[in-house]
Structure 1
Amino acid sequence: MNISPAGQASPLPRKRTALFWASAGCAAALMGVALWMLAGNPAVLGGHPLLPGILLAAAAAGAAWAALLWLRRDVPRPRSRVRAVGAWAGSLAVLALAAGLAWLSPFAYQPGPTAEAGPASDLTVTETPTAITMSPDGGTTKGLVFYPGARVDARAYQDILAPVVGAGYRVVILKEPLGLSLLDGNQARCAIEANTDVTSWAVGGHSLGGVSASSFALNNTDATGLVLYASYPVESLRERTGLSVLSVSGTKDGLSTPDKIQAFRELLPPDTEFAAVQGGVHAFFGDYGAQPGDGEPGISRSAAQQQVAAATISFLERLPGSR
């Protein structure tokens, strides 16, 4: 606090006090959100390392800011409207950062009945910081690289894609930076180059992941198949020769609605195969629980996923190099 000429203590100005507590609150919010995500969501530490790295940096920055505020709590500061406006703007920016980090919290894998019953076939699962690879016993020369939906745990697709592995395909599920495939749309290339024994590749994705898979397939001719789960491209694939496409959607999907699937149909090749899961919703294409904005299902998750897996296997088996 300030000391008056008469030796009496005078309180801090009210504006400075309010700003101090606002800044302290912002520091605590930044640190709290980061620690909450790191400790409370297993998908954070199990996903791509970029998000945990950012969260650790945010927690450290919040702690350092709080400590600096406390150490300088009694240091007199000249009154300035510009300084006050800048300080308030900085506090609001930190709050926005904390809110953005909270939004990035991924939908964690929630094992369903399929996982509880155990794998339907023998397979080997290996995990790296950027991918989950599932391989059939005995090896294979056929593969599928899969882009998860936005902010969805890569492990949430293990069960729905396990039957594909049982049919003789290696499946590589990508762990996307910040859970957003658009930040590294060419990530499938790394998976293909890391699996040199696979000579026939398809790419696929769910929702936003399907958008990235479509762009990759458009620009990489070594992908002969494209599998879209509740998704559609944003660039035309009609001139892309040598590419077969499967689009699987749900009739009750509240996000990639049937109307959207139909509206973007003209961007797909004329011979695209379409499969609709009657009563299926957006979140049934993985195992991560319910999703805000989704529709009300008219079928069980397990029944829907059986249809999705069957359509995927049937499609992949007809690709060149898969016979």
Structure 2
Amino acid sequence: MKHQKIKIFKRLWITFGICFILWIVISFQTKGVDEAILQSNSSIQVINTENIISFTPKKSYQKVFIFYPGAMVAADAYAPLCRKIAENGYKSIIIKMPWRQPSYGYNIPKEIDLFKDSTKQYILAGHSKGGMMAAQFVYENPTLIDKLILLGTSHPRDFDLSQSSIPIMKISGSNDGLADTKSVNRNKPKLPITTKYVLIKGGNHSQFGYYGSQLGDDKASINREEQQKIILNSILSFIKM
């Protein structure tokens, strides 16, 4: 009888594990991104390779925006935001992380020589774990990046960027269950006193991109389009500074 109960428990545990993994895979899939966003047109050239998705204005540009996705999130979940940044006159590049893990791919911009044109300014941004690794990249390469933007992350936490000389902006959501306001405020001493903070009232974690709900996140009280508009306008204002 005891042996039978153990077998039943194991089967239930395996079933639960499989269902949980499937739920995670489904929830992190890209959601609501029109196919046209990933296609070139008369003003934007789109290149989709093994390492990047890039949106390049066909007019001349001086600034390059590089984006690190959150852990487990598909790169094209951030395509609507990055395409709009390109439509405003800046080259925009999403880095595709190996196994969708920013900790494995945060050095890709150096590996593929994205910084070879010294006449350009480079803005590095990242969401969630991607934000953590964007901060890590700046910590390790202080002369390569001109501006840093952190979205939906409480990092840096384990290292100090307070003496960084580059402009930094952190964008948070008041309903973010994974990078809550308390955690963001607790780590403020790790960033320069000049850091610009933007709090999106009603915004949550998953609406920083276009994908499903995320375990541990809180429900947003604004819709994704409204949150994305605030993110875009904040980034554009910061880039123009």
TM range, smaller chain:
0.7 to 0.9
Instruction: Give the AA of the match of 2:218.
Output: G
**Matching residue of 1:286:** 209
Contact 1:104–1:178 (8 Å) recurs in 2: no
Contact 2:43–2:59 (8 Å) recurs in 1: no
Task: Name structure 2 gaps, 5 residues minimum.
Answer: 1-10
Task: Name structure 1 gaps, 5 residues minimum.
Answer: 1-25, 27-94, 319-323
TM-score by length of 1: 0.63
- 1:258 and 2:181 equivalent? yes
Contact 2:37–2:79 (8 Å) recurs in 1: no
- Summarize deviations over 1:134-175 as a string: whole Å, max 9, x none: 111223231011110010000000102222112211111011
- 1:229 and 2:175 equivalent? no
1:155 to 1:238, Cα distance in 2 relative to 1, 3 A = same
Question: Structure 2 CA distance, aligned partners of 1:177 and 1:117?
Answer: 25
Identity between Structure 1 and Structure 2 (%): 28
TM-score by length of 2: 0.83
Contact 2:163–2:191 (8 Å) recurs in 1: no
Question: Structure 2 CA distance, aligned partners of 1:179 and 1:116?
Answer: 21
Contact 1:146–1:173 (8 Å) recurs in 2: yes
**Matching residue of 2:224:** 301
Q: How many pairs align?
A: 226
**Matching residue of 1:172:** 93
Once the two structures are superposed, the pairs formed by residues 107-256 of structure 1 within 5 Å of their partners are 107-111=28-32, 115=34, 122-191=43-112, 193-194=113-114, 196-197=116-117, 199-220=120-141, 221-231=143-153, 232-234=155-157, 235-241=159-165, 243-256=166-179
Question: Structure 2 CA distance, aligned partners of 1:100 and 1:179?
Answer: 18
TM-fit CA distance, 1:206: 0.2
Instruction: Give the AA of the match of 1:227.
Output: I
Q: Secondary structure at the residue paired with 2:93?
A: strand
**Matching residue of 2:6:** none
Once the two structures are superposed, the pairs formed by residues 65-76 of structure 1 within 5 Å of their partners are none
TM-fit CA distance, 1:301: 0.9
TM-fit CA distance, 1:280: 0.2
Instruction: Give the AA of the match of 1:176.
Output: M
Moved over 2 A (4+): 97-106, 115-122, 194-198
Question: Structure 1 CA distance, aligned partners of 2:20 and 2:173?
Answer: 30
1:98 to 1:279, Cα distance in 2 relative to 1, 3 A = closer
Question: Structure 1 CA distance, aligned partners of 2:171 and 2:145?
Answer: 18
Instruction: Give the AA of the match of 2:164.
Output: R
